[in-house]
Structure 1
Amino acid sequence: MLTPTLASPLLPLLLLLCPVSFGQYSSDQCSWKGSGLTHEGHTRDVEQVYLRCSQGSLEWLYPTGAIIVNLRPNTASAAAARLSVCIKPSAESSGTNIYLDRSGRLRLLLREQDQARGRVHCFSIQEGALFIEAVPRTDISRRITAFQYELVNDRQRAETQSLSAPCQPCGDAEMLLAVCTNDFVARGRIKKVEQAEEHSSVTVEISRLYRQKTQVFASGGVRVRSWTGHIKLPRQCGVKAGEGDFLFTGTVRFGEAWMGCAPRYKDFLRLYQEAQQQGTNPCHVDTD
């Protein structure tokens, strides 16, 4: 256990302020789902959608016209103004261009062809709402715009945007702090490494699970005290399967685990014990 010590051709003529005129808003799921089929006769109307959650999703089927998506936290505070929004389009997302709308001035964020790449894009909450405009087509069948979103602070935004950056070794203080603050902390072995176009996926077998923010590691069963899962990291890291235990730490973004500091467990143990003797550990770790 761990113990803490560009301008669009479709500017709106009419704003429909009701958030459910042709879509469905679920406050408990923090998601919105709508269809352009019920909106075809009003293609110049612009729907206002309000999502007041730290994370959720949007799915717009057969898009026509445009919608404005306002993403806000569910509590008002001075810190909320410093939040950022990160969105991750679905690989099947198409049919629209996505802009940032600040007081009627639009800036292009994602073209239709860019959405299928599924890359995470972040922007300050002060940069405005999302103006999502349908690309005019005579046939809108099989067009769906879909993405997940998360509201993050400055540190989380930096971590999210650095996921594709070259790996950097963790310093001693950074390593100790990661164990106390990261979304997951686990001791285990690397079983397999698979290479994708932009990242590596590491299959791990966990023998000691200290913490996980969401269920990124699955239990082997009641009688088997082990867990398995996948952790992503940039290809530049050059990780290989091999013997020995590691201490895996990292962040969870859009339901996926991304590697942070991952020292060999024996190296972490030595560092932790030295810091413990000096009284400089930021938190307690049960190393028994």
Structure 2
Amino acid sequence: MLSPTLLASFLLLFLLCRRSLCQYSSDQCSWKGSGLTHEGHARDVEQVYLRCSQGSLEWLYPTGAIIVNLRPNTVSPATARLSVCIKPSKDSTGTNIYLDRSGKLRLLLREQDQGQGRVHCFGIQEGALFIEAVPHTDISRRITAFQYELVSDRLRAEALLPSAPCQPCSDDEMLLAVCTNDFVARGSIRKVDQEDEYSSVTVEISRLYRQKTQVFASGGVRVRSWTGNIKMPLRCKVKSGEGDFLFTGTVRFGEAWMGCAPRYKDFLRLYREAEQQGSNPCHVDTD
């Protein structure tokens, strides 16, 4: 049996949590909370502050509303030119999402549209996210969840619809991609699967030059190879091909999207010509 002192401590902690001090968890990048702690005060609006360039939000059993303030952890004149892109999970439901600017709300995403899993972007100066629970008799299956990224306005269109050049890249584009893209790897195409809106290219990598996130998984310490999947728009009609390629591209919401992908022998010839002319934008170890 608990002592009176210990029992009083547990009761105090419970009351504090009920008064919203223990409702939510956040690591400045991602946030997870439960609307069950709102049941007694469903009209409450909680403030959430996220300070990273990317992260996620998960609100279980939503009731009431939350305001999500998305800002980079450093402030500069370039901050005003940032855009916020969110990608709801395909199971996201239970809320409508608005933009809140000085108390004026503009609908961004309805509950019934969140399950499509499409990316939605808005300028960071357009306001915070106001996420309001839609009244339901049963909230036990309602979870609002999305990933977010802060991107420059220049990359906003690409975040909405990651693009892959269906036509071969120019020489300059190819050399620049090797220096600036999120991943660069030499390998071969194993298979191509056709999905609803894109092609998923399974690749085997023999040499990994760079990857922003864990796009390619290692085959093990003794096996110096990696495997992974890269997406391309269906309109590119990519097919399996023999030989080595140099895969480059961007990572959006944890997914790799193909950029320039020349045959490795063509890239090697181009790189060596540029090296002789001193026009390479960066060094690549081709040995």
Q: TM-score, normalised by structure 2?
A: 0.89
Q: Which residue of 1 aligns with 2:265?
A: 266
1:26 deviates by: 2.2
SS of the aligned residue for 1:287 comes to coil
Instruction: Output aligned runs, 1:238-249, within 5 Å.
Output: 238-249=237-248
Asked whether the equivalents of residues 19 and 25 of structure 1 are also in contact (C-alpha less than 8 Å), the reply is: no
1:21 deviates by: 6.0
Q: Please give the alpha-carbon distance, in whole angstroms, between the structure 2 residues aligned to 1:62 and 1:240.
A: 44
Q: 1:136-173 deviations in whole A, cap 9, x for unaligned? A: 11111110000111111233323222326773432211
Higher helix fraction (1 or 2):
2
Q: Please give the alpha-carbon distance, in whole angstroms, between the structure 2 residues aligned to 1:270 and 1:165.
A: 23
Distance 1:19 1:170, change over 3 A: farther
> Residue type of the partner of 1:219?
S
Instruction: Output aligned runs, 1:60-139, within 5 Å.
Output: 60-139=59-138
Instruction: Output aligned runs, 1:40-55, within 5 Å.
Output: 40-55=39-54
Sequence identity percentage: 83
Q: 1:194-243 deviations in whole A, cap 9, x for unaligned? A: 01101111000001111111111111111211111110111111111120
1:203 aligns with 2:202: yes
Asked whether the equivalents of residues 85 and 124 of structure 1 are also in contact (C-alpha less than 8 Å), the reply is: yes
1:146 aligns with 2:127: no
Mark the runs of 5 or more structure 1 residues left unpaired by the alignment: 1-17
> Residue type of the partner of 1:79?
A
Q: Which residue of 2 aligns with 1:22?
A: 23
Asked whether the equivalents of residues 247 and 268 of structure 1 are also in contact (C-alpha less than 8 Å), the reply is: yes
1:182 deviates by: 0.5
1:270 deviates by: 1.7
Q: Please give the alpha-carbon distance, in whole angstroms, between the structure 2 residues aligned to 1:54 and 1:218.
A: 24
The structure with more radius of gyration: 2
Q: Is 197-206 or 34-43 further displaced after alignment?
A: 34-43
Distance 1:137 1:164, change over 3 A: farther
Q: Output the aligned Cα RMSD.
A: 1.7
SS of the aligned residue for 1:116 comes to helix
> Residue type of the partner of 2:92?
S
Structure with the greater relative contact order (CA < 8 A, sep ≥ 6): 1 or 2? Answer: 1
Task: Give the ranges of 4+ consecutive aligned residues of structure 1 lying more than 6 Å apart after TM superposition.
Answer: none
Asked whether the equivalents of residues 92 and 145 of structure 2 are also in contact (C-alpha less than 8 Å), the reply is: yes
Asked whether the equivalents of residues 100 and 106 of structure 2 are also in contact (C-alpha less than 8 Å), the reply is: yes
> Residue type of the partner of 2:133?
A
Asked whether the equivalents of residues 163 and 257 of structure 2 are also in contact (C-alpha less than 8 Å), the reply is: no
Query: Between Structure 1 and Structure 2, how many residues are aligned?
Result: 269
